[in-house]
Structure 1
Amino acid sequence: MTSTLIEAITAASQQRPEAVLAVASDHRPCTTNLAEVVAAGQRMGTRMIATGIAPGDIISCMLPNWREWLVVAVAASHAGAVMLPIVTIYGAKELGFILHQSGAKWLFTPGSFRNVDYTRVVADCGALPKLERHIILGPEFEALEASGPISEPVSVPSEDLALLVFTSGTTSDPKGVMHSARGLLAELESMRLMRDESEDDAILSPWPPGHVAGALSMYRYLCQGAPVVLMDQWDAAQAAELIERYHVTSSSGTPFHLSGMMLAAETNGHDLSSLRQYIVGAAPVPPSLIEACQQQGLAVYHCYGSSEHPTVTSGTVDDPLDKQIHTEGKAIIGSEIRLVDDDGNDVPEGEEGEICTRGPELFIGYLDPSLNEAAFLPGGWYRSGDIGRLDESGYLLITDRKKDIIIRGGENISSKEVEAILLRMDAVADAAVIAAPDERMGEIVRACLVLLPGASLTLEDIRDHFLAAGIAKQKTPELLNIVDELPRNASGKVLKHELRNRL
C-alpha cells in the first residue's frame, strides 16, 4: 500500500507503463503512455530539487488538460513540493490573489490559449515577490523535462500538504483548500470502488484541472494507471467521437455536457454503447435527461462533494431510477454525514439540516487558518453550508445552499427546488433562480431562463405550470428574465452573484 503520491505514481508506472493518455486539443494534441509522462516528470523534479525547490514549496500550474500538466504534477511530487492547479480562465485579479495567498515559487502557463496572452496576464498581476520563476511552455519547459539523470524522490509525510486548490469563489474571494497525499489517495480509491472500475476502464474528462474534479481525474491516471482521454475545451460532437474511438466506459460532467453529448451522438451517428455510467453534478438535472439515458443503457447518477470533501456521497449503476433522478446517492465507504441546525445540534430524523461531513478524503484545513474555526464542528465535522435531508434508506437529498435560500415573507424557499420545477417545462433549456428585493415581502423569486431555440415563455405560462404541479404559490416566480446564457465558472456552477449584478 503506497502512502505518498510519488510512491503511488512510481508504482503505477511500473505496473501499467503502457496506460494510454490521449489529449484532444487544437493546441497540443498527443497520445502517449504513463511511463513516458512519469519519466519526464521525474527528470523535471530532479531539476527542481537542483535549483532549490524544497519540500512544501508551492508549484503553481495554470495549464489546461494537457500532457504537460501531468508532467508538472509528477515533478512537484518528486521534489516533495505542493501542486497548485489554477484554472486557465482567470485574469490578473484572480491569478494575482492566488499567487499572493499561496506564495507560489514557480508558475507554469501556456504562452497563449484561447486568445489569452498569459505573459500579459502575469505582468498585470503586479509585484509577486515570492514568485521566482514563470515557465512558459516552450524551450524552457522542454529543457526541464529533457533527458538526464533522475534523483531519488524527496520523502515527505503522507499527512503533509500535497495539493492546494482554490474554491471557485461563487460568493467571495477564493479560499485555499489543502489536501494531503493520504486524503487524495483515499479519494482515488473511493472513486474506483464506487464506480466499480477496472484498471482497463477508460474515462473521458472534460473538467478543467484547476478544479478538484479535474485534478482528481489527472491523479487517477498518474496513481492508478487507468486510461484517460482529456479535452482542453468542451465540444459535444468531439466528446461523442472520442467515446466511440477510445471505448470510454465512464465520464462525468454537468447536465449541459451530458445533454449536448447525447444530442451530438444522435445527430452524427456516434456509437456510445461502451459508455456504462455518467456522473453528474454542479447543476440541477432534468429528470427527463436521466430517463432518456437510462433507456439507452447508460446509467446516470449524482455524486455530492466539494473542494473540501471531494466525494461524500454517490449513486451507483444499481440504484433504483427514482434514486438516481432525485438523490445524491448514499455516503461512500468511510464518509459520514450529520445534519445539524444553526446551533450545530443534530436535527430530528427526516428533517432538513446543514450537511456536515467527515471522512478520509476530507481536506486538512484552509490555507488561511482563520477560516477553520467557523468551518468545523467539534469532532472534525466539516460544515458544508449546504442544506439537505436523508431519506429512510440513507439517500441524501440536497435542498439548497444556506446563502441560496430566498426568504419571502419569512418563509424559506429553496432556489434549487424552483429551478428543478422550471427545468421540467418544455421551453426551458437552463434555469437559475435568485432573490429579488421586494418592499412588501422582503424577497421574491426571480427566474432567469435560457429558452430552447424558437421557444417563448411568459410569467403566465410559469404560473400555470406551477399551479398544475401543485406547487405552493409563494414558490412561483414573480419576475422573469430571459437570457442568452447563464454565467458559469469553469466547473459548471452558476455564478449567481454575477447574475444579480447584471440585473
Structure 2
Amino acid sequence: MTATFIDTMIAAAARAPGTPLTVASDTRPCATTLGDIVAAGRRMGTRMTTSGIGPGDIVASMLPNWREWLVVAVAAAQAGAVLLPVVTIYGARELGFILRQSGAKWLFTPDTFRHADYRGIVADCGDLPALVRHVTIGPEFDALEAGEAVGAPVVRGADELALLVYTSGTTADPKGVMHSARGFLAELETMRLMRAGAEDDAVISPWPPGHVAGALSMYRFLCQATPLVLMDQWDAALAAGLIERHRIGSSSGTPFHLTGMIAAADAHGHDLSSLRQYLVGAAPVPPSLIERCQRQGLAVYHCYGSSEHPTVTSGVVDDPLDKQLHTEGRAMPGSEMRFVDDDGADVPPGTDGEICTRGPELFMGYLDTALNAAAFLPGGWYRTGDVGRLDEDGYLLITDRKKDIIIRGGENISSKEVEDRLLAHPAIADAAVVAAPDDRMGEVVRACVVLAPGAALTLDDVRDHFFAAGIAKQKTPERLSILSELPRNASGKILKHQLRDQP
C-alpha cells in the first residue's frame, strides 16, 4: 500500500530523529527535534482516538508557525483524521464559514496571539453544530500530548482525504481544496527534486501554515526530515539574522519578503552568503531584484502553482538568466499543461490560452462539489483561470489572470504586462494594476503604486515612462493611486478586489 502521512512521518523520525526545528517567536520560542514532535503527536493522536475522533473526521488547526502546529498535524495523521489548517488572521465570519462547511469536530487555537482573543472569535462564529471541542494552547493542550501509551495508527488509504486547505478567498467565500496523502506526498517529492543537491539544507519559511505554501514547509520537516526555521510573524531583519545564524541554504517567498530581507541584511550587516537559492511565487518579480541577487551568488527563480495544484512549473538554479527573469520555469515531472480558449478547445502552440493542468499533486476536487463542474475539463484537467503560453524552450509565460484583464474600449489589456513595466520605473517599489470604470471607454488602466524611499511620481511621469518604452498608448495607466502599501493576504498575494473597491 502507498505510504500515508503517518507512515512517512514515523519513517522520517526513525531515520533522522535529531532533525532540528527552531521557532523564533516572542510568544512561543522553541528549539526541538523531529523525534520529539512525532512522539508527542502520536501520543496526542492516540488520545484523540480515545476521545471520539474517528477516521476522516476534520481537525482544524488555527495555529501560527509554532511547534504545536506540527504536533497537531502528526496527531491528526495518527488518528486517521483530516487536518484543516486555518489562517490565524481570520475573523469570526471567515472562521465560522470554514468550520460550518467542513464540519470540523475539533479546533486548536492560541488563547491569544497578536492581540486576537480566539475564544471570543469562536464565540462570535455563531452556531457550530459539528464542533465538539475547542483546545487552546496551554494546560489542555499539554495534557493531550502528555506521556501515555501510544496505539497503532488508524489505517486509512493513501487516496482518501487527508488535508483540507481553504483558498484565501480574495474574491468570494474561501473554497475547501481537498488533498490526499498520495497527492501531497507527490508534491513533497517534487519539491525535493527542485532542491537537488541541497536536500539537507536548513529552510526558513515566511509562509503562514494556514496556506498551502506554509503547510508544505511544515510537512517537509515532518515527512522528509528537512531542518526548519520558523517565524510566527514576518520580520525582515529577524529573517536575515536567522539565515546567518543557522546557515540557511534555501528559502521561498514573495518579492516583498526577499527585498525586505536583503535591505535588512545591508542595514544590519548580516551575512546571507549561505543562501544559495530562493523560490519566488505569488507576485510579479522585478527583473532588477533577480539581477541583484545573481550578482551576490543567490539564484532566484519563479514557480507557478496554486492551492489546487501546488507546483506545476518551476525554475532551477542552472536556468539561463533570461528564463529566471521572465518565465515561471518548466513543467515539473509528472505535471502536464494545456492551453485552451473560453470553450475549452486547445489553442495553437505559442498562443495565449487559459492554463489547464494535470498531475500527481493535483487536488481531489473542492469540498463544495458544486464548484467542480466549472473547475475541470473532461479528462481531469484543472482550469486555473490563469492565461499564458509556453515559449520555444518549453518555459511557461504567464500573461494574465482572466479576471484581471482590463477591457478598454473592447480591447483586452494584460494587467501583468503593465505591472512589469511599472516595476521597471526607478521611483516605484511595488505596483498592481486594476480596471477603473470610465464613462467613455468602459474601463481604463489604474496603477496602484508604492514609491521607493524619497521618490516622487506623477501621472505624467508614468506616461513618459511608457512612451519611452514604446508601450501602446491604450496600455498606459490613465489613473494613478499612490499608496503606503498594497493590501496583501497572509501569503503575500495582492488583494486586487480591495484596490478595485478603493475610490
Q: What TM-score do the two structures reach when normalised by structure 1?
A: 0.99
Q: 1:58 matched to which residue of 2? A: 58
Which amino acid in structure 2 is aligned with residue 300 of structure 1?
A: V
Q: How does 1:221-370 map to 2 (within 5 A)?
A: 221-370=221-370
Structure 2 equivalent of residue 480 of structure 1: 480
The equivalent of 2:389 in structure 1 is 389
Q: Do residues 157 (structure 1) and 174 (structure 2) align? A: no
Report the alpha carbon displacement of residue 138 of structure 1 after superposing the two structures with TM.
Answer: 0.3
Q: 1:93 — aligned with what?
A: 93
What is the CA-CA distance between 1:170 and the residue it aligns to?
1.3
CA deviation map 1:219-253 (0-9, x unaligned): 00000001000111111111011011111111000
- The corresponding residue for 2:186 is 186
Tell me by how many angstroms 1:2 deviates.
Answer: 5.4
2:381 matches 1:410: no
What letter corresponds to residue 436 of structure 1 in structure 2? A
Quick one: distance in 2 between partners of 1:247 and 1:225?
17
Q: What amino acid is aligned across from residue 261 of structure 2 in structure 1? A: M
Name the CA distance, whole Å, in 2 between partners of 1:10 and 1:392.
44
Alignment of 1:81-120 (within 5 A): 81-120=81-120
CA positional deviation for 1:483? 1.1
In the alignment, what sits opposite 1:174? 174
Matched residue count: 503
- Aligned to 2:400, the other structure's residue is in SS state strand
- 8 Å contact from structure 2 (residues 2, 182) kept in 1: no
* Separation in structure 2 between the aligned mates of residue 460 and residue 160 of structure 1, nearest angstrom: 57
What's the secondary structure of 1:370's corresponding residue?
helix
Quote how far apart the aligned CAs of 1:197 are.
4.6
Q: Unpaired runs of 5+ in structure 2?
A: none
User: Percent identity at matched positions?
Assistant: 74
**Any conservation in 2 of the 1:2–1:8 contact (CA below 8 Å)?**
no
Aligned to 1:137: 137
Write the distance in 2 (CA, Å) between the matches of 1:483 and 1:205. 27
Q: Secondary structure at the match of 2:256?
A: helix
Q: Quick one: which amino acid aligns to residue 100 of structure 1?
A: R
SS of alignment partner, residue 210 of structure 1: coil
Structure 2 Cα separation of the partners of residues 466 and 270 of structure 1: 37
Shift of 1:80: 0.4
Give the whole-Å Cα distance in 2 for the aligned partners of 1:502 and 1:122.
Answer: 30
CA distance in 1, matches of 2:469, 2:199: 46
Q: Is the 8 A contact 1:86 1:210 kept in 2?
A: yes
Q: Is 1:400 the counterpart of 2:411 in the alignment?
A: no
Distance 1:216 1:252 in 2: 11
* Structure-2 residue corresponding to 1:207: 207
Cα distance per residue 1:135-171 (max 9 Å; x no partner): 0000000000001110000010000000000001111
Q: Deviations over 1:364-401 (max 9, x none)?
A: 01000111111001111000000001100000011111
Residue pair 2:166, 2:177 contacting (<8 A) in 1 also:
yes
Give the C-alpha shift of residue 453 in structure 1: 2.2
Amino acid at match of 1:204: I
For residues 402 and 198 of structure 1, the distance between their equivalents in structure 2, rounded to whole angstroms, comes to: 36
Unmatched tracts of structure 1, length 5 or more = none
Residue type of the partner of 1:291? E
* Partner SS, residue 262 of structure 1: helix
| Structure 2 residue 387 is matched with structure 1 residue 377 | no
Shift of residue 198, structure 1, vs aligned partner: 4.4
Q: Is the 8 A contact 1:199 1:225 kept in 2?
A: no
One-letter amino acid of the structure 1 residue matched with residue 122 of structure 2: V
> For the residues of structure 1 that align with 2:367 and 2:284, how far apart are their CA atoms?
30
1:18 matched to which residue of 2? 18
The CA distance in 2 between the partners of 1:339 and 1:500, in whole Å, is 28
SS state of the match for residue 179, structure 1?
strand
Structure 1 position 194, deviation (Å):
1.4
Quickly say closer, same or farther: Cα 1:434–1:199, change in 2 above 3 A.
closer
Counterparts of 1:472 and 1:186, CA distance in 2: 44
The whole-number CA distance in structure 2 between the counterparts of 1:190 and 1:481 is 40
- CA contact under 8 A between 1:204 and 1:248: conserved in structure 2? yes
Aligned residue for 1:10, secondary structure, equals helix
**Structure-2 separation of matches of 1:195 and 1:466:** 38
Aligned partner of 1:458 in structure 2 is 458
2:28 alignment partner in structure 1? 28
**Equivalent residue number for residue 448 of structure 2:** 448
The one-letter code sitting in structure 2 at the alignment partner of 1:79 is A
- AA of the residue aligned to 2:492: G
1:104·1:131 contact (CA, 8 Å) conserved in 2? yes
